[in-house]
Amino acid sequence: MSLLVIGVGNRDRGDDGAGREVARRLREQGVVGARVTECRGDAAELLEALSGADRVIVVDAALSGAHPGTVLRIEAHQEPLPQALRSASSHGWGVAEAVELARALGRLPQSVVVYAIEGPCFHPGPDLSPAVRQAVERVTRRVRQEIERTPGPRRAGADVA
């Protein structure tokens, strides 16, 4: 079973870089058992990435009104993503829309898990807020655990878009 981890966001927009920071940390730790990639969050780019794996874990920032640093884990293959997460990111038509389009087109992978990290600051600049930095640490650990529980060949891989 192929497993793909996608860190989504813009590193130059504050907390919007949370997903890409999780991906960077996973690669730095030498995660084995999944291919780790990054993207800016364009829906077409995400739709293409989703179609290439059996199982996908997507990590993205959210702006839903929850407390900063809140982490939601959604099994998007079982249910639509919450309305509050749609178009909440600074990259416009993004993760939620790409997942729902893949579902409508019959191209949704067997398993799609979305981690949404609530961020308070999406202004220009590379720094994550303290609450999001802590959430990134928690999500990195949780994604590693999910990878380790996934059966299949154990090899590392990485891409950066």
pTM over 0.85: yes
d(CA 80, CA 123): 28
First to last CA, the chain: 23
pLDDT averages per 10-residue partition of the chain, 161 residues: 90 94 96 92 85 91 92 92 60 77 91 95 92 98 92 52 45
Cα dist. 9→13, 24, 130, 146, 149 in Å? 8, 12, 17, 21, 26
Residue 75, pLDDT score: 94
Minimal CA–CA distance to 120: which of 37, 4, 20, 14? 14
pLDDT value, residue 155:
46
- pLDDT, residue 92, reads 56
Going from the N-terminus, what domains does the chain have, and what CATH number goes with each?
A: 3-154 (3.40.50.1450)
Three-class DSSP category at 131: helix
Q: What is the pLDDT of residue 79?
A: 87
Nearest to 132 by CA among 144, 145, 147, 116: 116
pLDDT at 43: 81
Planar angle of CA 23, 39, 35, nearest 5 degrees: 50
pLDDT score for 86: 53
- What's the confidence (pLDDT) of residue 56? 96
- Per-residue pLDDT at 95: 86
Q: Give the CA radius of gyration of the chain.
A: 14
Confidence at residue 21, expressed as pLDDT on a 0 to 100 scale:
98
Structure tokens at 38: 């990054």
At 143 the pLDDT is 98
Residue 67: per-residue pLDDT: 96
